[in-house]
A = this chain, B = another copy of it.
Amino acid sequence: MDALEAIASRRSVRSFTGEKVSMEELEKILNAARLAPSGSNIQGWRFIVITDPRILNLVRIFSPGFLGNASSAIVVCSDLEVYGREGGEVGRNYTRIADCAMAVENMLLAAHALGLGGCVIRSFSRVALKEILEIPEYVEPELIVTLGHPATQPKVPPKLRVEDVAYLNKYGVRWFSGGA
Contacts and interface: CB of A to CB of B under 8 A. Distances in A.
Contacts of A46: 165-167, 171
A169 B5 CA distance: 32
Contacts of A142: 98
Tell me how many chains of this kind the complex includes. Answer: 2
Given A27-B177, A109-B7, A171-B133, A98 B143 contact: yes
Nearest to A175: B49
Contact of A12 (B5, B37, B43, B52): B37
Interface residues of A, number: 83
Contacts of A98: 97-98, 100-101, 104, 120, 122, 142-143
Contacts of A43: 159-160, 165
A31 to B, nearest CB: 6
Interface in A150-165: 157-162, 165
A8 to B, nearest CB: 6
A86 interface: no
Nearest to A157: B41
Interface of A: 1-8, 10, 12, 22-24, 26-28, 30-37, 39, 41, 43, 45-52, 55, 77, 90, 94-95, 97-102, 104-106, 108-110, 112-114, 119-120, 122, 133-136, 139, 142-143, 157-162, 165-172, 175, 177, 179-180
